[in-house]
Amino acid sequence: MADRIVPAPQPQTGSGSAELVRFHGPDGLGLAARLWHPDRPDAGRLPLLCLPGLSRNWRDFRDIAGVLAGRGRLVVALDYRGRGDSDHDAEWHNYAIPVEAHDVDAGIARLGLDRFAVLGTSRGGLHAMAMAHRYPAERMRGVILNDVGPRIELRSILRIAASLGRHMQHPSFEALADLLKSQMADQFPKLDRDGWQRLARQLGRQTDEAVRLDYDPALALTLAALDDATPWPDQWPLFMGLADRPVLAIRGARSDLLAAETLALMAERHPQLQSMIIDDEGHAPLLWDQASQDRIEVFLNDFCDV
At 229, the pLDDT band (50, 70, 90 cuts) reads: confident
pLDDT tens sequence across 81-90: 999 999 999 9
Check: CB of residue 272 under 8 Å from CB of residue 304: no
Amino acid at site 271: P
Domains parsed from the chain with CATH numbers: 3-164+234-304 (3.40.50.1820), 166-214 (no CATH)
47 in Cβ contact with 58 (< 8 Å) = no
- What does the pLDDT read at residue 228? 81
pTM, full prediction = 0.95
What beta strand segments (E) does 150-295 contain? Answer: 169-170, 204-206, 211-213, 247-252, 273-278
> Which one-letter DSSP state was computed for residue 88?
P
pLDDT tens by residue, 145-171: 999 999 999 999 999 999 999 999 999
Q: What is the mean pLDDT of the chain?
A: 94
